[in-house]
Amino acid sequence: MAKRLRGGGFNSETKNDMIRIFFLLLVLALIVGLIIALLMMAEERERVPKHHEKTNTTRPLIGGCAGTEFGCCPDGKTTKVAVDDPCV
């Protein structure tokens, strides 16, 4: 342990050792805190946002009549160009 002098204080070599230990512990605490923060950020990135949780991904997201503004004609292939399109 630290060697005390008669007056109750520590010698300069002991003080320097204590300062080194303090700064090493401070740096170690900062590194551990940084690692924890990075792990939490990585975990947050892996989560699915709430507005994406209920998305039905079994249907195609692009193409088909459901993706058009006015829907499809009765043949199921031709898109309508207006709400009242007669599809002729």
pLDDT in tens, 12-32: 888 889 999 999 999 999 999
SS3 content of the chain, % helix, strand, coil (to 5): 50, 5, 50
Mean pLDDT of the chain: 79
Where the chain has pLDDT below 70, the residues are 1-9, 47-64
Positive/negative CA dihedral, 77, 82, 87, 88: negative
Distant-in-sequence contacts of 1-9, Cβ < 8 A, 24+ apart? none
